[in-house]
Structures are given as C-alpha cells and as structure tokens.
Amino acid sequence: DGGTMSANNRLTILEDLTIYNAMEQKQQLLDALGQAEHLELDLSQVAEIDTAGLQLLILAKREAARLNKDLDIVAHSPNVRQTLDFCNLAAFFGDPVVISAHEHA
C-alpha cells in the first residue's frame, strides 16, 4: 500500500509520486476524495516526484474543486517543495509551505 488514511481524513503518501506509481496513486487519491469532505494530503514521506506526480496532484486538486470538497497539502518533503517551486506551482496549490527548523539555512 502506497499510503495510509488516518481517522482525521489525512492521507499520507508513502511512495514516490512518479510515473511508476501514478496509476495506483490516482485511484487511491480519488477514493480518498470520495470518502471525505476535506482531505489532507501529507507528502512529507515522498522522496521523489516527477511530472506524472505533479499531474496527479493537479488532477486531485481539480477533482476536489469539481466535487466542492477541500484538498489541502499539509506537509511537503524537501523534494516536493523544490519541484513545486521550480515549476512555479506553489501558488496553484495555495497551501502554506512549511520550512522545518533543520532546513532553515
């Protein structure tokens, strides 16, 4: 299983958000959205993300909007944050990007 859903509707993705996992993660995200009015997505364990992973996040955000549900990314791994910044997508997701103390340079 590539992720865990907690009681408070937080889905933690445990695998890389890459093309190799995209199909199963897409179904997992859509299922989680179907179960919750407000879904929190924890990406703190995601070591690698590629364009397929980015497309998956965009799809999930748009699907949530279509269903009048909320999808918030509540934790970003450094690589996820760097990729969102590089692609200028942080504003699209609108979630505050948290910098942990050990990363503060």
Closest CA to 35 of 5, 58, 57: 5
Task: Give 105's strand partners.
Answer: none
At 98 the pLDDT is: 61
pLDDT at residue 50 greater than cutoff 70 = yes
Q: Tokens representing 35? A: 């179960």
> How many angstroms separate the CA atoms of 48 and 83, rounded?
9
Q: How confident is the model at residue 68 (pLDDT cuts 50, 70, 90)?
A: very high
Q: What's the mean pLDDT in 57-82?
A: 93
- Count CB atoms within 10 A of the CB of residue 30: 14
Kindly report the average pLDDT of the chain as a whole number: 86
> How many angstroms separate the CA atoms of 60 and 56, rounded?
6
